[in-house]
């Protein structure tokens, strides 16, 4: 068994030649379950051990929902400006530049148009990686244009929310997007076109106070955090202890704020089922 013993002393390996264990081979869920990263990806980033839904971005949602991941992206080069010349720990303009380089995204929402189960629809999907999925002027404008495209082409509209709320670096410009998107959804309703709202983890702040809760059918992924203000703020404001599981998708379903909780594996089938039912079309 000599191959288990070092026969010579003083053998060293240069630092640049040392092999590190590749990162990302395993994922640990909040319940402590360890999952192989490749298996997690094959399972649509849902832990097979405890059904925990890992946060994913627009690229993965589009891959799940569009047939063969084929779609046309609308307004893909639209970017935010800095009209207030806002500065906190760094300049807003610098923050935008850094996050665009890091995420390879232009802003916190993307709009795709393509076929799902053979029929065309418009999907707007938020990306939490871009400044916490915060809703600024570009987010509101891209959602508004997505709705306009749906109305013009008589297509169903799907909104996938994942946001920390309004982007306060844009102050009132950000808050204006609540009214803007709500008005556009009213126009979509007048056109008698379906609107399916999917709330994912987390859906909070101005997003919840506007388009996220205005769907013809409001659905969520299991375990998603959904609310307006955080639990601490609500507790301090009301002076009362909060119920167990407050602001989880399951709590909101029980209290009538959601229509359904839909696991990620069923999203494509369920969203198209709801659209067919609303439009009184044959079930695909």
Predicted confidence at residue 25, as pLDDT, reads 79
Residues 70-95, mean pLDDT to the nearest whole number: 96
* The predicted structure's pLDDT at residue 30: 80
Considering the domain architecture, whether residues 42 and 179 belong to the same structural domain is answered as: no
Mean pLDDT of 44-52: 91
Q: Do 123 and 37 share a structural domain?
A: no
Per DSSP bridges, beta strands 157-163 and 119-126 are parallel
Are residues 100 and 75 both part of a single domain? yes
Check residues 53 and 3 and name the one with the higher pLDDT. Answer: 53
Tell me 19's DSSP state: P
pLDDT at residue 36, as a whole number: 87
Query: Percentage of residues in the chain with pLDDT exceeding 70?
Result: 92
Residue tagged 């749906």 (tokens): 150
Beta bridge partners of 218: 197
| CB of 54 closer than 8 Å to CB of 84 | no
If asked whether residues 45 and 76 sit together in one domain, one would say: no
Q: Are 199 and 220 in contact (CB under 8 A)?
A: yes
Q: Domain residues for 31? A: 19-54
Contact 99, 88 (CB under 8 A): no
% of the chain with per-residue pLDDT over 90: 78
34: which strand partners? 28
Cα gap 102→237, rounded to integer Å: 37
Instruction: Identify the residue whose tokens are 């092999």.
Output: 19
User: Can you give the pLDDT at residue 38?
Assistant: 87
Q: Is residue 10 part of a domain?
A: no
> If we measure between CA atoms, which residue out of 166, 161, 77, 163 comes closest to residue 124?
161
The CATH number for 127's domain is 3.90.226.10
Whether residue 8 is contained in a domain is answered as no
Band (pLDDT 50/70/90 cuts) for residue 248 is: very high
Helix, strand or coil for residue 49?
A: coil
Does residue 221 form part of some domain? yes
pLDDT range class, residue 5, cuts 50, 70, 90: low
Q: How far apart are CA 128 and CA 72, in angstroms?
A: 21
Same-domain check for residues 47 and 100: no
Task: Let me know whether 92 and 140 are in one domain.
Answer: yes
Greatest Cα pair distance in the chain: 82
pLDDT average, residue stretch 250-260:
95
pLDDT at 137 over 80: yes
Residue 124 lies in a domain: yes
Q: In the chain, what is the straight-line distance between the N-terminal and C-terminal CA atoms, in Å?
A: 64
Same domain, 50 and 97: no
260 within a domain of the structure (yes/no): yes
Q: Are residues 172 and 100 in the same domain?
A: yes
Cα separation, 278 vs 213, whole angstroms = 17
In this predicted model, what pLDDT tens digit does every residue of 8-39 receive, in sequence order? 555 555 544 544 545 567 888 887 888 888 88
- Is residue 100 scored above 90 in pLDDT? yes
| Mean pLDDT within 122-147 | 97
Whether residue 232 sits in one domain with residue 214:
yes
Within a domain: 14: no
Residues with Cβ within 8 Å of residue 218, at least 6 apart in sequence: 197, 199, 212, 257, 258, 259
Q: Is the pLDDT of residue 144 over 60?
A: yes
Residues 166-223: pLDDT tens digits? 999 999 999 999 999 999 999 999 999 999 999 999 999 999 999 999 999 999 999 9
Does residue 226 contact residue 249 with C-beta atoms inside 8 Å?
yes
Distances (CA, A) of 277 to 135, 182, 274, 284: 31, 23, 5, 10
Structure confidence at residue 4 (pLDDT): 52
Residue where a domain stops, chosen among 54, 73, 100? 54
Q: Does 134 lie in the same domain as 39?
A: no
Residue 36 in domain: yes
Indicate whether 141 and 74 sit together in one domain. Answer: yes
- Per-residue pLDDT tens for 52-78? 999 999 999 999 999 999 999 999 999
> Do 188 and 105 share a structural domain?
yes
Number of domains in the chain: 2
Residue 143 belongs to a domain: yes
**Alpha helices (H) in 104-230, listed in sequence order:** 137-153, 171-190
């Amino acid at each position: 068994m000599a191959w288990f013993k070092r026969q010579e002393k003083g053998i060293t390996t240069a630092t640049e030649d040392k092999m590190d264990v590749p990162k990302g081979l395993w994922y640990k869920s909040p319940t402590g379950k360890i999952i192989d990263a490749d298996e997690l990806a094959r399972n649509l980033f849902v832990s097979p051990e405890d059904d925990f839904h890992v946060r994913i971005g627009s690229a993965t949602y589009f891959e799940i929902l569009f047939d063969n991941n084929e779609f046309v992206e609308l307004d893909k080069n639209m970017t935010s400006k800095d009209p207030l010349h806002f500065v906190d720990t760094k300049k807003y303009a610098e923050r935008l530049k850094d996050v665009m380089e890091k995420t390879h995204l232009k802003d916190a929402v993307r709009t795709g148009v393509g076929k799902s189960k053979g029929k065309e629809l418009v999907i707007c999907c938020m990306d939490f990686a871009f400044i916490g999925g915060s809703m600024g002027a570009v987010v509101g404008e891209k959602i508004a244009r997505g709705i306009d495209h749906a109305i013009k082409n008589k297509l169903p509209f799907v909104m996938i929310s994942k946001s920390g709320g309004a982007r306060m670096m844009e102050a009132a410009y950000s808050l204006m997007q609540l009214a803007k998107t709500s008005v556009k959804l009213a126009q979509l309703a007048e056109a008698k076109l379906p609107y399916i709202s999917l709330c994912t983890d987390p859906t909070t702040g101005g997003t919840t106070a506007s388009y996220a809760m205005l769907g013809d059918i409001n659905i969520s992924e299991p375990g998603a955090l959904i609310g307006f203000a955080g639990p601490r703020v609500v507790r301090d404001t009301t002076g009362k202890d909060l119920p167990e599981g407050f602001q989880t998708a399951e709590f909101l379903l029980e209290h009538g704020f959601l229509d359904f909780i839909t696991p990620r594996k069923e999203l494509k089938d369920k969203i198209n089922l709801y659209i067919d039912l609303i439009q009184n079309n044959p079930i695909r």
